[in-house]
C-alpha cells in the first residue's frame, strides 16, 4: 500500500539510488512466487532503510519479520565489518528461498536467520545490545515487540516499525481490530517519554523511534 500519490512515488523512486541487482531479483521472485507480495519493502523504502543503517553504522541489528529477506539485505548494507543482523521469521517454509536470496549478496555471512515466534527467540539473544531494530511482523503484536526489545536497544539506538499508517485507516473512521491496534501503538509511543519519535509517510508509514 502506497500512501503517497503514484506520480510522486515514481518521482521518488527515480531520484534515489538504483535498486541493486540482487534486490531487483528478489523483488521479482517475491511477486511471482509468494502470497501477499505487497508486504515487500520495495525499492524506495529499501533505500530509506539502507540509508538509515549506513548513517548509524550499526554493529548489531535485529529484524522481527524477515519475509523474503529484502529489508534484511537493505539493513545489512550499513553494518560494520564485524556486524551481524539477527532476523526472525515465524514461517519455516521460507528457509530455502531466504538462503537463496541471501546467497546473492555480499552480506550473506552477516545475516543470522532464526525461525520461530519472536517472543520465544528474543530471550536467546539476551546478551545482545542492538543499534537498530526493525519491526515488520504480525501487526497485532507490534506494541508487545516494542516493549520486549526496548531494554535491548542502546541509548541513541533506533527502532523502526513498519505500516503504522495502515493504508490510511489510522486517521480515518475505521474501527476494525487491526486499525485500532495501530492507533493504540502510535498513541502509546507518542506519549512514551523514554523515546523520541516521528512517523514518516514512506510507503505505508514507518515510525522512527530513538531511544534516549
For 141-155, what is each residue's pLDDT tens digit? 999 999 999 999 999
Which CATH number fits the domain that encloses residue 30? Answer: 3.40.50.150
The pLDDT of residue 30 is 96
Q: How far apart are CA 143 and CA 135, in angstroms?
A: 10
Share of the chain above pLDDT 70, in %: 99
Q: How confident is the model at residue 3 (pLDDT cuts 50, 70, 90)?
A: confident
The pLDDT of residue 151 is 97
Place of cell 519455516: 92
Q: Is the pLDDT reported for residue 57 higher than 70?
A: yes
Domain count, the chain: 1
Q: Is the pLDDT reported for residue 160 higher than 70?
A: yes
Does residue 172 sit within a domain?
yes
Q: How far apart are CA 131 and CA 79, in angstroms?
A: 10
Does residue 107 sit within a domain?
yes
Residues 6+ apart with CB under 8 A from 200: 48, 206, 207, 208
Domain that holds residue 201: 6-73+83-211
Does residue 1 sit within a domain?
no
Does residue 129 sit within a domain?
yes
Q: Is the pLDDT reported for residue 51 higher than 80?
A: yes
Interval 80-121: pLDDT, tens:
999 999 999 999 999 999 999 999 999 999 999 999 999 999
Does residue 152 sit within a domain?
yes
The pLDDT of residue 1 is 64
pTM for the model: 0.96
Does residue 78 sit within a domain?
no
Mean pLDDT of 191-202: 97
Average pLDDT, the chain: 96
Amino acid at each position: 500500500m502506497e500512501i503517497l500519490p503514484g506520480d510522486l512515488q515514481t518521482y521518488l523512486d527515480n531520484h534515489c539510488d538504483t535498486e541493486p541487482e540482487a534486490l531487483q531479483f528478489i523483488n521479482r521472485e517475491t511477486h511471482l512466487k509468494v502470497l501477499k507480495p505487497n508486504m515487500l519493502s520495495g525499492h524506495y523504502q529499501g533505500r530509506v532503510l539502507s540509508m538509515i543503517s549506513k548513517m548509524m553504522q550499526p554493529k548489531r541489528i535485529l529484524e522481527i519479520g524477515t519475509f523474503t529477506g529484502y529489508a534484511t539485505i537493505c539493513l545489512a548494507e550499513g553494518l560494520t565489518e564485524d556486524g551481524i543482523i539477527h532476523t526472525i521469521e515465524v514461517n519455516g517454509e521460507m528457509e530455502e528461498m531466504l538462503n537463496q536470496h541471501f546467497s546473492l549478496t555480499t552480506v550473506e555471512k552477516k545475516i543470522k536467520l532464526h525461525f520461530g515466534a519472536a517472543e520465544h527467540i528474543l530471550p536467546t539473544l539476551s546478551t545482545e545490545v542492538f543499534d537498530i531494530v526493525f519491526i515488520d511482523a504480525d501487526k497485532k503484536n507490534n506494541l508487545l515487540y516494542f516493549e520486549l526489545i526496548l531494554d535491548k536497544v542502546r541509548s541513541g539506538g533506533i527502532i523502526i516499525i513498519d505500516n503504522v499508517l495502515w493504508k490510511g485507516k489510522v486517521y480515518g473512521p475505521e474501527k476494525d481490530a487491526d486499525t485500532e491496534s495501530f492507533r493504540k501503538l502510535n498513541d502509546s509511543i507518542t506519549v512514551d517519554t523514554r523515546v523520541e519519535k516521528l512517523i514518516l509517510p514512506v510507503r505505508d508509514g514507518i515510525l522512527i523511534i530513538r531511544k534516549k
